[in-house]
Amino acid sequence: MARERLSMSKSREILRLRWVLQHSVRDVASSVGVSTGMVSQTAQRAAVAGLAWPDVEQMDDAQLEAALYASPPGGEDPIERPKPDPIYIHQELRRAGVTLELLHLEYLEEHPKGYRYTAFCDVYRKWLKRRGLTMRQLHKAGDKLFEDFSGKRPMIFDRETGARIEVELFVAVLGASNYTYAEATATQRLADWIGANVNALEYIEGVPNALVPDQLRSAVSEPCASEPTIQRTMSAMAAHYGTAVVPARPGKARDKAKVEVAVQVAQRWIVARLRNETHFSLESLNARIRELLEELNARPMKRYGGLSRRELFERVERGALRPLPERRYVAAVWRKASVDSDYHAKVEGHFYSVPHALAHEEVEARVTSSTVELFYLGRRVASHVRSDEVGGATTNPAHMPAHHLEWAVKDPAPLLAWAQGIGTNTELMMRRVLESNFHRDQVYRSGRGLKGLGELYPPERIEEACSRVVRTGARSYKHVERILKLGLDLVPHPDEEETSRPIEHDQVRGPEYYLN
């Protein structure tokens, strides 16, 4: 076995600092300019050779080198140690909380005379380098779910015409275990993208720390290498599941290398195997994809000691995922809308009410397959059942101002209550007005007209005017209005003048008769 050798001057200095001055391994390594592993190895070689510091002082360089690097009979290195298993290290590092330092301590518990920490790490790093990996690509368990669409698409067929219809293949893969999910979608549009994300999380039965999509429009509304703007629905979906969206940077293949490899694997083991099959619907195609997916996740991986994706997932990743929420996310899209003067906002061709105080404001609408929610400054102000009636309106009476609500309901009770508060004749007049026409809108309008007089004239004048109209049998509030405008209610009624004039007749005794 080829062994790295230090110069004897450095070896001597290492032994002096360790044995005489009793400095720490790290301090000695820093002072001499070598690794901590080399410090430990040199001290260990001297101990195996039975040397002490007085012996080292008496030796020249040749003698010291012979003592430190002498080979026993058989040619084996006296401190040859069990080599760490880099595949095991790589698998364990994917588990939450596991570090190289911890694995090294466990290694020393099993092999007390084994590699020191630096040499232990060097074995692993050299193995990584041979695999073409970097430390930055070491994926922690439960950390990231990488997502993308495949460039090679599966297809379905039109049952009537036989025409081929290409569909999309969504692929998602967990970073630590390579556990893979795939499904066919009709398009790459938002609804299909969100639905595939939800299905992927349910397939892995948990939630990772982050979702890592490419910067496609369904995930990112404004692409940017440093601060991409996450699509509103994608962000809401991530918030529902308690995770984050961290898009891969444009042009940085290493950011999405994991999913690119997963896509290639899916193309070989799923798309390629579908090439001679005929499916007439997405449901049928996805049922077959699920079968092939189970086979893919059960295939042994040579680089991981023969473990399958599912075995690695169960071993290192399932326990690191957060649980799914109780409710499944319902896909929604967001729309901006302006509130008209009638306190309704137009959303996808239909008008929905908001509180009347928000007239002329800008709101946001969250639209699902069944509901439309309206938000103002981030606060929900209205929720309606979704309607597909173009040009129609959905109104919550609570959103209306009082006078609009009264008119919309057309309840005569408030009008009668007002009339009763004025007087008996006014109540009688109001009842005649409300019974004067078969058309509900017209009679209600007349009743409101009569009530409106109360804002212009005092109650006693209204009661007097109504008493005069009631005597005539009229039913229109305009008669009352005319009397009030002309002030006729203030002029004594002719009948009243006749009854108040003294009767002049020689057979009638006057009041003077009774005073005598």
Distance CA 132, CA 126 (A): 10
Region label for 442, one of left (φ > 0), alpha (ψ between -120 and 50) or beta (otherwise):
alpha
For the chain, give every domain's residue range: 8-69, 86-137, 144-320, 333-403, 410-499
The answer to whether 8-69 and 144-320 have equal CATH topology is no
What one-character-per-residue DSSP string does 177-240 give? T--EEEEEES-SSHHHHHHHHHHHHHHHTSB-SEEEE-S-TTTEEE--SSSPEEPHHHHHHHHH
Flag the least confident range among 134-138, 308-312, 447-451.
Answer: 134-138
Q: In this structure, what DSSP letter does residue 480 have?
A: H
Q: Are 78 and 50 in contact (CB under 8 A)?
A: no
Of residues 5 and 163, the one with the higher pLDDT is: 163
Residue 118 has pLDDT above 90, yes or no: no
Interval 314-331: pLDDT, tens: 988 888 899 999 998 887
* 306/64: higher pLDDT: 64
Instruction: Give the number of other Cβ atoms within 10 Å of residue 21's Cβ.
Output: 10
From residue 322, give the alpha-carbon distance in Å to each of 143, 239, 241, 318: 10, 13, 9, 9
pLDDT band at 381 (very low <50, low <70, confident <90, very high): very high
Tell me which amino acid residue 244 is.
A
Task: Please tell me the predicted confidence (pLDDT) of residue 138.
Answer: 64
What digits encode the pLDDT tens for the residues 150-193? Answer: 888 889 998 888 899 999 999 998 888 889 999 999 888 888 88
The reply to whether CATH 3.30.420.10 applies to domain 144-320 is yes
pLDDT at site 80: 57
- Least reliable range by pLDDT among 18-22, 95-99, 242-246, 250-254: 250-254
Give me the count of residues in the chain. 516
Residue 345 one-letter amino acid: A
pTM: 0.50
Token pair in block for residue 89: 């290290």
473 falls in which pLDDT band (50, 70, 90)? confident
> Token pair 């969504």 is at which residue?
170
Question: pLDDT category, 136, cuts 50, 70, 90?
Answer: very low
pLDDT category of residue 224 using cuts at 50, 70 and 90 = low
Asked whether the beta carbons of 211 and 147 are under 8 A apart, the reply is: yes
The per-residue pLDDT for range 261-291, each reduced to its tens digit, is: 878 888 888 888 888 888 999 899 999 999 9
Work out the burial of residue 87: count CB atoms within 10 Å of its CB; fewer than 13 is exposed, 13-18 middle, 19 or more buried.
middle
Please provide the CATH number assigned to the domain covering 8-69.
1.10.10
Report the C-alpha gap between 201 and 204 in whole angstroms: 5
Distance CA 54, CA 45 (A): 16
Averaged pLDDT for residues 75-80: 50
Mean pLDDT calculated for residue range 391-415: 75
